[in-house]
Chain A
Amino acid sequence: MSSSSHQFAATSGNKKWELKLYVAGQTPKSLQAFANLKKICEDHLAGEYRIEVIDLVKNPKLAQGDQIFALPTLVRKLPEPIRKIIGDLSNTERVLVGLDLQPR
């Protein structure tokens, strides 16, 4: 998480899951969020996901596009529809519900 945008992918090419994690600098909350996300993805979507981390401190203009106001925010770009999960993703159950990996 040293640059504005990291891509984590098991294999190259299009993935079924495209996730964007918006953060503002390397705050404990954003680091926590990233670690939590990584773990959930590995547990449930191994090999089928791609995570892009966007640091709004470096790219503030990107906040508007995805309607970001709270941080950290995880945006599920694919599969559609777009879903948003805000917070440090510490509640795994809620994250899975938010990503539609678990029924509500």
Chain B
Amino acid sequence: MALKTTKLEAPLAGLPKCPTGIQGLDEITLGGLPRGRTTLVCGGAGCGKTLFGMEFLVRGATEFGEPGVCLTFEENADELSSNVASLGFNLPALIAQNKLAIDHIHLDRSLIEETGEYDLEGLFVRLGCAVDSIGAKRVLLDSVEALFAGLDNEATLRSELRRLFRWLKDRNLTAVVTGERGQGTLTRYGLEEYISDCVILLDQHVTETVLTRRLRVVKYRGSTHGMNEYPFLIEENGISVLPITSVELEHVASNERVSTGVPALDTMFGGQGYFRGSSILLSGTAGTGKTSLTAALVDAACARGERCIFFSFEESANQILRNMRSIGINLERWVKKDLLRFHAVRPSTYGLEMHLVKIHKLINKFDPSVVVVDPITGLLHAGTAFETRSILLRLVDFLKAKQVTAVMTTLTGSANSLEQTEIDISSLVDTWLLLRDIESAGERNRGLYILKARGIAHSNQIREFHLSDQGILLREVYLGDAGLVTGSARVAQEAKDEAAALFAQQDTERQQSILQRKRKVLDAQIAALQLDLEADEKESQKLMSQDRLKALRGQKDRVDMAQSRFIQNGSPDAGSKRPGARGKGR
């Protein structure tokens, strides 16, 4: 995205920096340690000072082409080599390539007698010799304080140390000096007095049996730097410092949608499901089907040929596979095809940071498109709520930056409000599905609704869902007269409704038959009336013809009478015409 955002400004050109190559540290220090100066790394026993220094040298030698010299007062070259071999640093090889020189200064008080004045020129000679032999640019002094333990003349030591740091600066060597933490001071012998350019404090504390290492840049003259305590880890490939704000809010927002794995649920999200690369939270009380819903999503993603990682903090991989088989979701085939990987580990196995780094690593290695964390509340066992939140924030950021669809489940305790997650992560996520129990009529049923879905038109309905051996089925929640009806009450309600419908149908049919009968009766009546009418008509015609006959007869009679009268009056012609007319009229 070519959006313009304000970034942390790069340091001014005035102060050249020397990248350490330590993951995350260069971000905090905005480029690395001050070049040509000495940095003090202090901390208690076992907090990783030497490893810090060695990584600085090894990364310099391998990644930045800057050979380094390690002047060690505590361990010899062999010990150092084997100690850092576990971090994947091969010191003997680097020494053979002239990229690294290790000089061990052995101080044994019992073998040394001090008489009169001396200086540490021998140290300078040795350091200078080592630096010149490989053209070193970096120096580690670990730990120069051993001198104080081995020698009595503190005044001489102090002035010589001052000279040493001056010497390093004059030779433009970027140096790391380690120092044991003292009571109330950064270092036991006050090295911070001489090293004023950059001081880094390493610390470790144990909270509830879980160890967390932290790093803080106490001071960095001439440069801004991250001020906070940053958790860091020592693991297979060195130190990783985890700056919380390492990822800025610049994720690419995908418009692509991915199926939820449950067709009916897709419908609730406008028919298309979640956004790819979004973070989805499934929250709910125990046994509401959170894992099952995530499994459906995983199943759908794997079916599309996408890779998924399932981080489980409660169940083993086998347990999940078995349980999901029981609801008709066969995840085993995806495991066999290496599309799905499980990473099941107890939350308390290691600290939060370690969890985060493990997750980072697996994701970077496997490059999945869907990641499930089930449940994120499990992480609470590995740290405090605040830490967990910050870790999750970083995880969500990381996954978004990688365009990985993240599904997280969280268990809502019975004491908490449903619409509140235990670690307040809800504001971080894009889509929040709430699963809840609906208790009524003596049974418990599962309901589901979308609490939020950023950027997606979504259903506001509460849906009942069933975990059947055919997978997850969503059904409409029945809104009866008495409110929400679920489970068998809903089935009863449905049966009742069906009966009512049937009854209504029968009623209609009956009405229709009544109507038909009525019509038939009326039709019959109409027919009878028509017959009556016909009979009447016939009768009236008869009467009419009789009338005409009568009239004709009357006329004939009158003619006959007239004729008879005419005959009587002597007019026979009139009488001879008449019989013909008479025959006609009949």
Residues of A within 8 A of B (CB): 22, 24, 29, 32-33, 36, 56-57, 60-61, 63-64, 67-73, 81-91, 94-95, 97-98
Interface contact A63-B125, CB-CB below 8 Å: yes
Report the minimal beta-carbon distance from A85 to chain B, rounded to whole angstroms: 4
A67-B106, A82-B111 known; A88-B122 Cβ under 8 A: no
Residues of chain A contacted by B103 (CB below 8 angstroms)? 64
A63-B129, A64-B126 known; A71-B118 Cβ under 8 A: yes
Most buried by B among A63, A69, A82, A91: A69
Interface contact A24-B121, CB-CB below 8 Å: yes
Interface contact A83-B113, CB-CB below 8 Å: yes
- Majority-rule SS of B interface residues: mixed
Interface contact B105-A67, CB-CB below 8 Å: yes
How many chain B residues touch A (CB < 8 A): the figure is 23
The residue in chain A whose Cβ has the minimal distance to the Cβ of B105 is A69
Residues of chain A contacted by B114 (CB below 8 angstroms)? 85-87, 94
A33–B114 Cα distance when bound, in Å, is 12
A90–B106 Cα distance when bound, in Å, is 24
A64-B103, A69-B105 known; A86-B125 Cβ under 8 A: no
Give 11 pairs: A residue, B residue, CB < 8 Å, sorted on A: A24-B122, A56-B122, A69-B147, A70-B123, A71-B118, A73-B118, A85-B113, A88-B115, A89-B116, A90-B115, A95-B115
A67-B105, A69-B105, A98-B113 known; A87-B122 Cβ under 8 A: no
A97–B121 Cα distance when bound, in Å, is 24
A61-B129, A91-B116 known; A69-B111 Cβ under 8 A: no
Interface contact A89-B125, CB-CB below 8 Å: no
A24-B125, A60-B128, A61-B129 known; A29-B119 Cβ under 8 A: yes
Residues 386-407 of B contacting A (Cβ, < 8 Å): none
Residues of chain A contacted by B119 (CB below 8 angstroms)? 29, 70-71
A63-B126, A83-B113, A95-B113 known; A29-B105 Cβ under 8 A: no
Residues of chain B contacted by A24 (CB below 8 angstroms)? 121-122, 125
A89–B113 Cα distance when bound, in Å, is 10
Residues 459-491 of B contacting A (Cβ, < 8 Å): none
Residue from A33, A57, A70, A83 in contact with B120 in the complex, judged by beta carbons closer than 8 Å:
A70
Residue from B105, B115, B118, B129 in contact with A98 in the complex, judged by beta carbons closer than 8 Å:
B115
Interface contact B121-A56, CB-CB below 8 Å: yes
Residues of chain B contacted by A95 (CB below 8 angstroms)? 113, 115
Interface contact A87-B117, CB-CB below 8 Å: yes
Residues of chain B contacted by A32 (CB below 8 angstroms)? 116
Report the minimal beta-carbon distance from B293 to chain A, rounded to whole angstroms: 66
Contact count A vs B, C-beta below 8 Å: 95
Interface contact A29-B117, CB-CB below 8 Å: yes
Residues of B within 8 A of A (CB): 103, 105-107, 111-123, 125-126, 128-129, 147, 151
A27–B123 Cα distance when bound, in Å, is 16
Interface contact A69-B122, CB-CB below 8 Å: yes
The residue in chain B whose Cβ has the minimal distance to the Cβ of A92 is B115
Interface contact B121-A88, CB-CB below 8 Å: no
Report the minimal beta-carbon distance from A63 to chain B, rounded to whole angstroms: 5
A70-B119, A90-B117 known; A85-B126 Cβ under 8 A: no
Most buried by A among B115, B119, B129: B115
A94–B112 Cα distance when bound, in Å, is 11
Residues of chain B contacted by A73 (CB below 8 angstroms)? 118, 122
Residue from B107, B122, B123 in contact with A22 in the complex, judged by beta carbons closer than 8 Å:
B122
Residues of chain B contacted by A29 (CB below 8 angstroms)? 117-119
A22–B122 Cα distance when bound, in Å, is 9
A61–B115 Cα distance when bound, in Å, is 25
Residues of chain B contacted by A60 (CB below 8 angstroms)? 125-126, 128-129
Report the minimal beta-carbon distance from B157 to chain A, rounded to whole angstroms: 10
Residues of chain B contacted by A83 (CB below 8 angstroms)? 111, 113
Residues of chain A contacted by B125 (CB below 8 angstroms)? 24, 56-57, 60, 63, 68, 71
Report the minimal beta-carbon distance from B211 to chain A, rounded to whole angstroms: 35
A90–B113 Cα distance when bound, in Å, is 12
A73–B125 Cα distance when bound, in Å, is 13
A56–B123 Cα distance when bound, in Å, is 11
Report the minimal beta-carbon distance from A51 to chain B, rounded to whole angstroms: 16
Report the minimal beta-carbon distance from A34 to chain B, rounded to whole angstroms: 13
Report the minimal beta-carbon distance from B116 to chain A, rounded to whole angstroms: 4
Interface contact A85-B115, CB-CB below 8 Å: yes
The residue in chain A whose Cβ has the minimal distance to the Cβ of B112 is A84
A23–B260 Cα distance when bound, in Å, is 79
Interface contact B112-A86, CB-CB below 8 Å: yes
A36–B117 Cα distance when bound, in Å, is 12
- Not counting A24-B125, A97-B113, a sample of 10 additional A-B residue pairs whose C-beta atoms are within 8 angstroms of each other reads A22-B122, A63-B125, A63-B129, A70-B151, A71-B118, A72-B118, A86-B115, A87-B116, A88-B117, A89-B116
Residues of chain B contacted by A82 (CB below 8 angstroms)? 111
The 5 closest A-B pairs by CB, nearest first: A98-B113, A90-B116, A87-B116, A88-B116, A94-B115
Residues of chain B contacted by A86 (CB below 8 angstroms)? 112-115, 118, 151
A33–B121 Cα distance when bound, in Å, is 15
A69–B229 Cα distance when bound, in Å, is 37
Report the minimal beta-carbon distance from A81 to chain B, rounded to whole angstroms: 8
